[in-house]
Structure 1
Amino acid sequence: MADTPVNEMTFEDAIKELERVVGQLERGDVALDDSIALYERGAALKKRCEAKLSEAEEKVAKITVGPDGQAAGLGPLDP
C-alpha cells in the first residue's frame, strides 16, 4: 500500500495505512527523516479519508425517500 498514490486509494485502504503510519510514529522507533516522511504521508492519507467521507455524505444527502419510507432515488443536493 505504501507505494500506492494516496489519491488512488479507497477509503478503506487509506484508513488502514493511516493507522499503520500513526502506529509507527507513536512507537517513536523511526529515524527523524523517516518520521517527517511518515507524517507527510499521514497528512495526505487523512485528507484523502476526509474527502472520501465527504463524498459519501453528499451521496447520502441526495437519497430521496418515497411515500412508503423506502429509498426512491436521488434528488438534488441543497447547497
Structure 2
Amino acid sequence: MTEIADLSFEAALDELEKIVQQLESGKAPLQESIAIYERGEALKRHCETLLKQAEARIEKITLAKDGTASGTEPLDP
C-alpha cells in the first residue's frame, strides 16, 4: 500500500471512496473492517490537510478603477 502522505488529493479521495464501498458492502471480516476504517480515517485527514493547504494558497485578484488586474490579496483576510 502507498504511504498516505505520498498520495495526491485525487488518489487519496479515490481510495477513500473504495474503502467506503467496502465497508458498506459488509463483506469484510471484523478485523479487516477495523483496519480498513482506520486507513479511511487517515485518508480523510490527509484530504482535509491538502484542502486547507490549497485554500491557503488561493488569492483574490484585485482590480484597479479601470477594471484591469492590479494585484492580489488573501481570499479570506
TM-score range, shorter chain: 0.7 to 0.9
Query: What TM-score results when the alignment is normalised by the length of structure 1?
Result: 0.79
Unaligned runs of 5+ in 1: none
Unaligned runs of 5+ in 2: none
How many aligned residue pairs are there? 74
Alignment partner of 1:7 is 2:2:
no
Q: Could you say which structure has the higher strand fraction?
A: 2
Query: What TM-score results when the alignment is normalised by the length of structure 2?
Result: 0.81
Which structure's CA Rg is the greater one? 2
Q: Give the aligned partner of residue 65 of structure 1.
A: 62
Trace 1:1-79 onto structure 2 (pairs within 5 A).
Answer: 3-60=1-58, 62-67=59-64, 68=67, 70=69, 72=71, 75=73, 78=77
Secondary structure of the residue aligned to 1:65 is strand
Q: Is the 8 A contact 1:11 1:49 kept in 2?
A: yes
Stretches (4+) displaced over 2 A: 62-73, 75-78
CA RMSD of aligned residues (A): 2.1
